[in-house]
């Protein structure tokens, strides 16, 4: 006996022949079945109302209700749908066999009954009914698992949809932020350009005083010559000479004015090959007189034959002017400090000449770079301040004197030129700024 045909199983034997019921009870009971019997179809239907057997053996020919009707009535009861029903038909009664199957019988056995075969047949039916049951429940479990899976897929899809829409929302948000950022960056660039321009205009204002002196000097020369021409009798040669000097000096004045005009013009960066020495000469054209007035000696040690750099000459000039005015202020600051430290010798110290030097040369360490050094004999920069001087609005100057923008703008321009700027040296003897410009 295998697990599938485990006994006891209850069999209901439905037959109007008491002998058969008796023999069935005995032989099947002996074979391990629990046997209950019914004398006809009606009785059988009554019995299943209370409890269902595991298997039914049903006689075909019975009074009151034949086996076929009983069988189909049993199949109408939902709990009896899967109970194996074995119908006992007459031998070779093909018609009955067909009808038995039509009424829902699981199998048939012919009369007279061979009890030994019956036992095996019953076991086989039970086994297949149980296997069928297992398949059914496996199917059911599969269906439930499938349903559960579908539900989970549906839930997950919903979840994913939700996440997706959140993501879309976030992407939208980011795009908006990006747009804001782009606009803010645009505004910032604009502001920076305005800042550069206003710093430039501010330095022009400051330069104006110096420029007045620059212009005054040739004007005096012109005036002197024209007065002497009017008053004195002059030779042809004197006249030619005087006119030449006048022309030369008006030329100098025109070039100062021209330069001031082009420097103040707002310009987008205009990168061209630039001779750095020319930029330096033009910067001194603007500030030279001013430095002289403040008793600051300046020296230009400009290497000849330097290759051009790629840059915007106006902006590079702004860098030089920022460094030169800072040097000028540092020299004056040093005078003030000395005066406060030594009030007695103040007047003598005040008069001491400051020194400013601008050097250009090819860099020894960095190939293809020109080095521009701006050296002053000023007050120096305290060590802990060196990191801050390029920050916008960092100034040690009194209110109204410095905006703190000079070096931050200088830094911006230097970066724009793919160049570098640093404090090469600073101390009580003064400060040296170094700019490294890549050659074109
Ligand atoms: N050559 C220098 N010697 C000593 N200190 C310097 C020198 N150059 C700059 N500094 C220091 O760095 C600070 C910042 O310089 P920056 O040119 O940015 O602004 P500022 O000169 O104070 O003002 P602005 O240039 O806007 O008129 C100065 O206030 C000064 O303290
Ligand atoms: Mg400055």
- Domain span at residue 101 reads 3-113
Residue 249 lies in a domain: no
How sure is the predictor about 1, in pLDDT bands with cuts at 50, 70 and 90? very low
Residues whose beta carbon lies within 6 Å of some atom of ligand 1: 322, 326-327, 330, 376, 378-381, 389, 394-397, 402-408, 431
d(C-alpha 119, C-alpha 62), whole Å: 23
Mean pLDDT over residues 341-348, rounded? 64
Both structure tokens of 431: 């400060």
pLDDT in tens, 251-271: 888 877 877 776 666 566 778
* Domain annotation covers residue 97: yes
The alpha carbon of 219 is separated from its chain's Cα centroid by a whole number of angstroms, namely 64
In a domain, 194, yes or no: no
Instruction: Report CA(168)–ligand 2 centroid distance (Å).
Output: 49
User: Exposed, middle or buried, 101 (CB in 10 Å: 0-12/13-18/19+)?
Assistant: middle
Ligand 1 atom closest to the Cα of residue 390 is 18
Instruction: Give which of 116, 87, 9, 4 is closest to 53, Cα–Cα.
Output: 9
pLDDT exceeds cutoff 70 at 164: yes
113, 146, 166: which is the final residue of a domain? 113
Name the closest-CA residue to atom 20, ligand 1.
404
Q: How confident is the model at residue 206 (pLDDT cuts 50, 70, 90)?
A: low
> What is the total count of domains within the chain?
2
Question: How does pLDDT run across 31-46, given as a tens digit for each residue?
Answer: 999 999 999 999 999 9
Above 70 in pLDDT, residue 290? yes
Does some domain include residue 292?
A: yes
Q: How many helices (H) and strands (E) does the chain have?
A: 10, 12
What was the pLDDT predicted at 157? 93
Domain end point (choices 62, 87, 113): 113
The model's pLDDT over 60-101, given as tens digits with 9 standing for 90+, comes to 999 889 999 999 999 999 889 889 999 998 767 788 889 999
Query: What spacing in Å lies between the alpha carbon of 383 and ligand 2's midpoint?
Result: 18
84: in domain: yes
Amino acid 6: pLDDT: 56
Secondary structure (H, E, C), 250-305: HHHHHHHHHHHHHHHCCCCCCCEEECHHHHHHHHHHHHHHHHHHCCEEEEEEECCC
Confidence of residue 350 (pLDDT cuts 50, 70, 90): low
| Mean pLDDT for all residues in the chain | 88
Looking at ligand 1, which atom is closest to the CA of residue 409?
Answer: 18
- In a domain, residue 339? The reply is yes
* Torsion (CA) 118, 119, 120, 125 in degrees, nearest 10: 80
Percent of the chain with pLDDT over 70: 91
What CATH number is associated with residue 61? 3.40.50.2300
pLDDT the model gives residue 142: 92
Given 113, 131, 154, the domain boundary residue is 113
Which atom, in ligand 1's list, is nearest to the CA of 396?
A: 29
Give the distance (Å) from ligand 1 centre to CA of residue 347. Answer: 26
277 lies in some domain = yes
Give pLDDT tens digits for 402-436.
Answer: 778 889 889 989 999 999 999 999 999 999 999 99
Which pLDDT score, from 0 to 100, does residue 205 have? 66
């Amino acid at each position: 006996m295998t697990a599938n045909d485990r006994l006891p199983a209850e069999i209901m034997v439905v037959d109007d022949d008491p002998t058969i019921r008796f023999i069935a009870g005995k032989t099947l009971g002996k074979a391990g079945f629990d046997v209950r019997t019914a004398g006809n179809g009606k009785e059988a239907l009554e019995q299943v109302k209370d409890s269902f057997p595991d298997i039914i053996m049903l006689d075909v020919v019975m009074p009151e209700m034949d086996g076929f009707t009983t069988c189909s009535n049993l199949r109408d009861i939902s709990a009896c749908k899967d109970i194996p029903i074995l119908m006992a038909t007459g031998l070779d009664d093909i018609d009955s066999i067909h009808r038995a199957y039509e009424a829902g019988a699981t199998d048939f056995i012919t009369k007279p009954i061979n009890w030994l075969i019956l036992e095996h047949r019953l076991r086989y039916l039970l086994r297949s009914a149980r296997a069928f049951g297992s398949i059914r429940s496996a199917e059911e479990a599969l269906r439930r698992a499938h349903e559960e899976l579908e539900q989970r897929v549906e839930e997950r899809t919903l979840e994913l949809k939700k996440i997706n829409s959140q993501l879309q929302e976030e992407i939208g948000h980011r795009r908006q932020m990006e747009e804001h950022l782009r606009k803010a960056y645009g505004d910032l660039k604009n502001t920076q350009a305005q800042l550069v321009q206003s710093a430039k205009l501010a330095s022009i204002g400051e330069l104006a005083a110096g420029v007045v002196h620059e212009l005054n000097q040739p004007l005096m020369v012109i005036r002197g010559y024209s007065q002497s021409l009017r008053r004195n009798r002059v030779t042809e040669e004197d006249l030619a000479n005087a006119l030449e000097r006048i022309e030369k000096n008006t030329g100098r004045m025109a070039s100062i004015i021209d330069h001031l005009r082009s420097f103040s013009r707002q310009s987008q960066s205009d990168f061209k090959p630039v001779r750095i020495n020319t930029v330096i000469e033009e910067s001194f054209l603007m500030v030279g007189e001013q430095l002289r007035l403040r008793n600051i000696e300046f020296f230009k040690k400009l290497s000849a034959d330097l290759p051009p750099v790629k840059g915007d000459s106006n902006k590079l000039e702004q860098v030089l002017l920022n460094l030169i005015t800072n040097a000028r202020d540092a020299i004056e600051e040093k005078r003030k400090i000395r005066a406060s430290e030594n009030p007695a010798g103040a007047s003598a110290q005040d008069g001491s000449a400051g020194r400013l030097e601008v050097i250009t040369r090819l860099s020894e360490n960095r190939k293809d770079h020109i080095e521009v050094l701006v050296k002053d004999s000023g007050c120096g920069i305290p060590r802990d301040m060196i990191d801050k001087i390029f920050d916008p609005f960092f100034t040690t100057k009194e209110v109204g004197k410095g905006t703190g923008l000079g070096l931050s703008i200088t830094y911006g321009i230097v970066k724009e030129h793919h160049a570098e700027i640093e404090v090469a040296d600073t101390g009580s003897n003064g400060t040296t700024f170094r700019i490294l410009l890549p050659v074109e």
